[in-house]
Homo-oligomer: A and B are copies of this chain.
Amino acid sequence: MVHNGIEYGDMQLIAEVYDTMKSTLGMSNLEIADVFDEWNKSELESYLIEITATILRKKDDETGCGYVIDYILDKTGMKGTGRWTIQEGAERGVAISTLAAALDARMLSGLKEEREVASKVLDEPSMQSTDKTQVVADLRAALYASKVCSYAQGLSLIKAASDEYQWDVDLSECARLWMGGCIIRAKLLGSIREAYSKNSNLSNLLVDAGFASALNERSVAWRRLIALCVTSGVTCSALCNSLSYFDTYRRARLPANLTQAQRDFFGGHTYERTDKDGRFHTAWTDAHKDIGDASQRTSGENVQI
């Protein structure tokens, strides 16, 4: 199931990269195919990149005119494993936001008729001037970094289930299995296998020394590319969610203190502090009643909001 969830993510990331080359750079199918072919000789080597190049070169037999890709309706079917993966991520408390973006993109693609109506009332931003060589290089960096985050999410989900049910899953072996015959087979899996072979207790793929430096090296290009898409109105939800995952996971301090304060304000849910142990409650206003001993309150883990 998680293999398929990751596959959804890979397919959506590739779709966004294709869209950016087409919509912001105005590249032809053959030019885009050349880029994917070139990438397939790099750290991005994978079955899905390979078939994407082949797909983009395929002439249309039905009409004898142009490329088949341009005749295919942009409405994606799906039912099953992607949805189950998202539900399982929520169940296990594991953020798998890149995979979720892929599922959401498929669901929204299905609303073709609604989108046609919306396109007439919601404005498209004006196109930004771009440097083609730079954008293509940024796309390569963004795609790789986003894939790493997506795999980190999927593997974290397997790890959480394995820990909970004491399955003792070997993630290195999992990566090796996916290298043979699977749709997500890719060079990247070799590096993932290596990372977990070196340290089977790795808390997250992102903090493996090799991946950390690969992500750090690509960070500026990745951010620049997403800023371009966001400004140009080219949807990049999976690329974005990978970056948000990176930017949330790598920050020692998040604004979750405000969320905790709000929960304590409206629900007396209490909070922890940075300077001392225990659970605390604040009488935020004169209208706040005494809630008694904060340590006796139902802990924040067990309330509904």
Q: Contact between A272 and B52 (Cβ–Cβ < 8 Å)?
A: no
A83-126 vs B, Cβ < 8 Å mask (1 yes, 0 no) = 10011001101110100110111111111001111110111110
Residues of B contacting A77 with CB < 8 Å? Answer: 260, 263, 269, 299-303
Residues of B contacting A285 with CB < 8 Å? Answer: 54
A64-84 vs B, Cβ < 8 Å mask (1 yes, 0 no) = 000011111111111111110
Task: Determine whether A212 belongs to the interface, using a CB cutoff of 8 Å to chain B.
Answer: yes
Task: Determine whether A138 belongs to the interface, using a CB cutoff of 8 Å to chain B.
Answer: no
Q: Contact between B248 and A244 (Cβ–Cβ < 8 Å)?
A: no
Q: Contact between B266 and A72 (Cβ–Cβ < 8 Å)?
A: no
A232 to B87 CA separation, bound complex (whole angstroms): 32
Q: How far is the CB of A3 from chain B (nearest CB, A)?
A: 10
Q: Which residue of B lies closest to A84 (CB)?
A: B90
* A positions within 8 Å CB-CB of B: 4, 7-8, 11-12, 14-16, 18-19, 22, 47-48, 51-52, 54-55, 58, 61-63, 68-83, 86-87, 90-91, 93-95, 97, 100-101, 103-111, 114-119, 121-125, 183, 203-204, 206-207, 209, 212, 215-216, 219-220, 223-224, 226-227, 230-231, 233-237, 240-241, 243-263, 265-266, 269, 271-276, 280, 282, 284-285, 299-305
